[in-house]
């Protein structure tokens, strides 16, 4: 059998064409698989993406948690006030009420109560205050007003703000002495305040 020129060209070009098609098929398979994987990842991300309804539920839960946190903070403030008031309980109910209010006022100004006691012995007071205490005890008796010593920690600004508010309030508490020493932290000072209540 004699091959014609056309047959000879087909014999040469058909294997070359098969090789070229095989090469492109093999080389295009890798990117095609990557494109397929990326499409699967996109479809999975779309399925897992939060829906607007889910976002609304999450926002509602966040609002509920913020309200619960605020309520817990208010309860904590009440407990701190009650604890501070217990530290300054007096036999006289009026004194205890004033002491609670004064303690709450200082707590509002970020001053931390360390100790609150009624000054039982006038020897702990300066001489001028000793004379005043003796005079009032004679006129008012044991249940009358007296001196209270309050120890607090905090900074200058908070103490100044608290004393300004105390001066403008209707509480019957008059600062008699105020002293300051270094506190447990560099920014906080230990304040010793004697109040006439």
Number of structural domains (the chain) is 2
Which pTM was predicted?
A: 0.45
What rounded mean pLDDT belongs to the chain? 78
In the block, tokens 């506190």 appear at 183
Tell me, yes or no, whether 165 and 186 share the same domain.
Answer: yes
- pLDDT given for residue 90 in this prediction: 44
Tell me, yes or no, whether 132 and 76 share the same domain.
Answer: yes
Backbone φ and ψ of 141, nearest 5°: 85, -170
- Are residues 172 and 197 in contact, defined by beta-carbon separation less than 8 angstroms? yes
Six-digit token pair at 197?
Answer: 């209540």
Return the CATH number at 60.
Answer: 3.30.70.60
pLDDT, greater one: 127 or 29: 127
Tell me, yes or no, whether 155 and 114 share the same domain.
Answer: yes
- Are residues 103 and 85 in contact, defined by beta-carbon separation less than 8 angstroms? yes
Six-digit token pair at 61?
Answer: 């839960």
- Are residues 111 and 180 in contact, defined by beta-carbon separation less than 8 angstroms? no
Task: Say if residue 108 is exposed, middle or buried (CB neighbours under 10 Å; 0-12, 13-18, 19+).
Answer: middle
**Full residue range of the structural domain in which residue 165 is found:** 52-196
Tell me, yes or no, whether 28 and 95 share the same domain.
Answer: no
Tell me, yes or no, whether 42 and 112 share the same domain.
Answer: no
Tell me, yes or no, whether 122 and 74 share the same domain.
Answer: yes
- pLDDT given for residue 92 in this prediction: 47
Q: Which residues contact 196 (CB under 8 A, 6 or more apart)?
A: 132, 145, 146, 147, 148, 173, 174, 175, 176
pLDDT tens column, 131-146 = 776 666 665 554 556 7
pLDDT tens column, 81-132 = 766 555 444 444 445 578 888 888 998 988 888 888 887 665 566 777 777 7
């Amino acid at each position: 059998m004699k091959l014609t020129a056309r047959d000879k060209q087909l014999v040469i070009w058909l294997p070359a064409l098969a090789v070229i098609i095989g090469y492109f098929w093999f080389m295009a398979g890798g990117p095609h698989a990557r494109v397929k994987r990326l499409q699967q990842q996109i479809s999975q991300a779309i399925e897992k993406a939060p829906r607007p309804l889910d976002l609304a539920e999450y926002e509602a839960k966040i609002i509920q948690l913020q309200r619960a946190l605020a309520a817990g903070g208010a309860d904590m403030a009440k407990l701190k006030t009650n604890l501070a008031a217990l530290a300054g309980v007096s036999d006289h109910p009026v004194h205890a009420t004033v002491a609670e209010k004064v303690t709450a006022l200082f707590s509002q100004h970020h001053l931390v109560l360390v100790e609150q006691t009624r000054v039982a012995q006038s020897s702990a007071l300066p001489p001028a205050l000793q004379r005043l205490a003796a005079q009032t005890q004679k006129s008012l008796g044991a249940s009358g007003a007296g001196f209270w010593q309050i120890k607090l920690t905090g900074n200058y600004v908070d103490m100044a703000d608290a004393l300004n508010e105390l001066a403008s309030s209707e509480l019957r508490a008059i600062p008699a002495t105020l002293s300051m020493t270094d506190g447990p932290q560099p920014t906080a000072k230990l304040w010793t305040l004697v109040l006439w209540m």
